[in-house]
Amino acid sequence: MNNVSKNKNTIEVSTMPEYQEPVSERFTEKVRLIRFRMKQERFRFVDEIRLVPRWLVISVVILFVLAEVIAVTINWTGVANDGQPWPTEYTQIEGALVMAGIVAGIAIPIACVLFLIGYVNSDAKRRGMHSTLWTLLVIVLLPAYLATGFIIYFLVREPLPYNCPQCGSTVSARFNYCPECKHNLRPACPRCRRGVRDGDHYCPHCGHELAGATSAEQVGLQKN
């Protein structure tokens, strides 16, 4: 009987399910991985500026020129000031320069806001986010909360898609496996099951040696 009970206990122990990582830990690890991938992004100001739609830039420039011409013309002719240019103590040329400066001071902040809206729309598209929803969000929050919508967007936006290290296809930063070649995009330590980075030789959480660590160095050695 004792042998039977021991065998039963042995069977029960061997068939116990593996330890499941809590949902909170998995979520934290996912956030950590996304933040890590965001830190790997390299931005060039010139490339980011190019995301602003060209039609928007052209439209803003045309409207700015029209506003300058109309304001200077009205001030020059004195239509709005009983036939006298404004300010009256200045000459027509000086008054025209003052009016042009006022129009520019008002137009430049408005143009920057419009460019930011266009940037959010284009940037959300390339990150696989709902561009229309985010564009409407920043527009709706703009009158009452000014830049709050833009701040929220830049804080929660998705990391940029990147190329799968095995097949080169574009994958989302939230993917665990490449949909084209099934390559593991989120390698984990076999002991503690927490995420590790490509190229790690030891787990940063438990110190376990990662025999299957992938790195450009190792790939080069294998090829040689």
Write down the domain spans for the chain: 45-158
Angle of helix 131-145 versus helix 148-156 axis, rounded to 10: 140
Q: How many secondary structure helices (H) and strands (E) does the chain include?
A: 8, 2
pLDDT in tens, 15-66: 334 444 555 655 565 566 666 566 667 778 888 999 999 999 999 999 999 9
Task: Name residues whose C-beta falls within 8 Å of residue 52's C-beta, 6 or more positions apart in sequence.
Answer: 115, 118, 119, 122
Scan for tokens 């000086």, then name that residue: 94
Tell me: pLDDT of 182 over 60: yes
Q: Which of 147, 149, 175 is nearest to 162 (CA)?
A: 175
Contacts of 64 (CB under 8 A, 6+ apart): 104, 107, 111
Highest mean pLDDT, choosing among 8-17, 76-85, 176-185, 207-216: 176-185
Phi and psi dihedrals of 49, rounded to 5?
Answer: -60, -35
